[in-house]
Amino acid sequence: AQSVTQLGSHVSVSEGALVLLRCNYSSSVPPYLFWYVQYPNQGLQLLLKYTSAATLVKGINGFEAEFKKSETSFHLTKPSAHMSDAAEYFCAVVRSQGNLIFGKGTKLSVKP
């Protein structure tokens, strides 16, 4: 069965610092993985997705994620945090039936 684990429910960084949000997956088949972002009082929107075409995936707003099979990880990074990046981030894996299994989410705070 597929699942994802997000390490750290809250992450705080200073503006301009590196953002690293961790996601580990469990899947018996090659996984399809997604990162979504949720801004306050809004729905989720897609940041990026991994579909086996390339291990380094670039998304919107300067975010990227690297698929590492040996570590079963799909961590999300951004070189320099901006105040507008403050939000909750969700990692998700596609189930064999086609729906998504979401992690618990990580709230990112950005300090000025």
For binding to another protein (CB under 8 A), which residues are involved? Answer: 32, 34, 36, 42-46, 49, 51, 90, 94, 97-105
In the complex with another protein, the residue whose CB is nearer, 62 or 95, is 95
Q: What angle do CA 74, 59, 90 make, to 5 degrees?
A: 50
Query: What SS3 state is found at 77?
Result: strand
Task: Report in angstroms how near the CB of residue 11 gets to another protein at its nearest.
Answer: 16
Task: Report in angstroms how near the CB of residue 5 gets to another protein at its nearest.
Answer: 12
Residue in 89, 88, 94 with CA at minimum distance from that of residue 26: 94
Q: What is the DSSP letter of 71?
A: G
In the complex with another protein, the residue whose CB is nearer, 68 or 104, is 104
Strand runs (DSSP E) across the chain, as ranges?
3-7, 10-14, 19-26, 33-38, 44-50, 56-58, 64-68, 73-78, 87-94, 100-102, 106-111
In the complex with another protein, the residue whose CB is nearer, 45 or 61, is 45
Task: Report in angstroms how near the CB of residue 41 gets to another protein at its nearest.
Answer: 8
Task: Report in angstroms how near the CB of residue 77 gets to another protein at its nearest.
Answer: 20
